[in-house]
Every structure is written in structure tokens, then in C-alpha cells.
Amino acid sequence: MEKHIYDEKNGLRYTLQGDYYLPDLALNEEEPTYGKYGMLRKQFLKEHRSAKYQYLLLTGKLTEHLNQIDQESREQVEMLMEQMAEKQGVTEELKVRNQMKWVRLMNNIKASAEEMVLRETLYI
């Protein structure tokens, strides 16, 4: 039996250990960094899309995927918040006149925008 083999189907190399071929996996030593939406996506993948999660983890693309999702989600939330604030008439003038109303409306807008992004981007 050969000591090392390469599987073209999945792109992994294997080394013979006793009677079994084990994949040659390298652990990335640097700590992955991603934001709120990246963490939510990771949790969703672990719980509901375990095959995709394992594939991304084994190919070393998980952190890249989570960072991309995080960045796209943040941009979408910001864009939706701007559009919703404009549509509802939440302006800097309102902020000066009635801060509590402005904060209440902006919190509501942010919650709505995040809910839309979570439903459409993260949980698919």
C-alpha cells in the first residue's frame, strides 16, 4: 500500500496510518476574526447545514466565507436603515427637536433592517 495518496474528487492528500488513510489537514494557527453576522452564520451552518460547514472548514474557506457574509450583511443593514429612515422622515432635524423619538424610531428601523438581512442572507 502507498504511504501517501491524493484524492482528485475532493482535493485532499491522505497518509497511511496503520490500516487507515487519514487526511493531511493543517491547522491554521491564527485566530479567525469576523463580526456579529459572521458568528450568526457560523452557528446556523453548524446547526442546520453541517455538510456545508464541514466542507468549508476542511477546505480552509470557512473564515473567508464568514468574513464575506459579515461584510455583505453590515452593508445591507446600513443601506436598508438609510432607506427606511428617509422613507419614515427620520432626519437630523428630528434628532435635534426630539431625541427620544429619534432614538426610538432608529432602534425600530435597525431591528427591522437586521431582521430582513438575517432572513434573506444568513439563514439560507
pLDDT for residue 24:
87
Q: What is the pTM for the complete model shown?
A: 0.71
**Short-list 101, 102, 93, 119, CA closest to 41:** 119
Torsion of CA 91, 95, 96, 97, to 10 degrees: 90
- C-beta of residue 38 within 8 angstroms of C-beta of residue 67: yes
Q: Tens-of-pLDDT digits for all 124 residues of the chain?
A: 788 999 888 888 999 998 898 888 776 656 778 899 999 999 999 999 999 999 999 888 999 999 999 999 999 999 999 999 999 999 999 999 999 999 999 999 999 999 999 999 888 7
